[in-house]
Amino acid sequence: YLLLGAGIIALLLTKKRSFLISNIIAALVLYIQNIKADKGKARTAGRLLLLVIGAVLVVYFSPATQGIMNKILLLEDSGDVTNGRVAHWTDTLEIWKQNPIWGVGIDTMFDVYDLSSHNVYLQLLAETGIPGAISYIVLLLTSFRRSSNTYQHVLTDAALIKDNRAIYGVSLYMQVIFIVYSFFGNPVYGINF
């Protein structure tokens, strides 16, 4: 719950829809992990209900989230809910086609092409080519899988203290946020992340 609260604070401070999506997905991943460890007990279902009620209350009563909702409505009215990201992604893929195997060079998208792709995976594909992008994705997913397995073990091991469970939960939560946010922004290069 503290993780989701921290995520909501990050959402309110940044006013970015991608953080909202990332936090929801991260909370669901941890929830699923807890269901597995808890064997689907009613206590876990009650926690989900509290989580949903809390999220609805924050969205409904917070002026900051109302600003995000207004932005979504404005983008819907403009006809481009991606806020121009599809055009950036298309341009990034065109740059990748120039040198699909080895890419055009690390950190050249903005400096040389004056383009922010708003997607880590596409930017790495364009800059480092197929081998670089695949290596990055494999390392990222390997780390996530190991963290997920470790968290599952920590949840089911009664000998471990709750502090250890929280540390592994934070690690998994932050990895999910990073992986999901990487589809909409660029936390590898972006200072604001």
User: How large is the average pLDDT for residues 166-171?
Assistant: 85
Q: How confident is the model at residue 164 (pLDDT cuts 50, 70, 90)?
A: confident
Is 4 a residue whose pLDDT tops 80?
no
Highest mean pLDDT: which range of 11-15, 156-160, 178-182: 178-182
Q: What is the pLDDT of residue 145?
A: 95
DSSP 141-181: HHHHHHHHHHHHHHHH-TTS-HHHHHHHHHHHHHHHHHHHH
- Ranges 16-20, 88-92, 155-159: which has the least confidence: 16-20
Q: How confident is the model at residue 100 (pLDDT cuts 50, 70, 90)?
A: very high
Is 139 a residue whose pLDDT tops 70?
yes
- Quick: pLDDT tens for 62-96: 666 666 666 665 656 666 666 678 888 999 999 99
Q: What is the pLDDT of residue 22?
A: 80
Tokens for 155, please give them: 């949840």
Is 37 a residue whose pLDDT tops 60?
yes
What SS3 class is residue 68? helix
User: How large is the average pLDDT for residues 129-151?
Assistant: 95
d(CA 78, CA 55): 27
Contacts 24+ apart (CB under 8 A), 23-27: 23/177, 24/55, 25/176, 25/180, 26/172, 26/173, 26/174, 26/176, 26/177, 26/180, 27/3, 27/51, 27/173
The one-letter code for the residue type at 164 is N
Q: How confident is the model at residue 99 (pLDDT cuts 50, 70, 90)?
A: very high
Pair 173, 33: CB distance under 8 Å:
no
d(CA 125, CA 186): 13
The pTM of this model reads 0.76
User: In terms of DSSP H, where are the helices of the chain?
Assistant: 2-14, 17-38, 42-61, 63-78, 85-98, 120-156, 162-181
Q: How confident is the model at residue 103 (pLDDT cuts 50, 70, 90)?
A: very high
Tokens for 55, please give them: 């999220």
d(CA 155, CA 89): 39
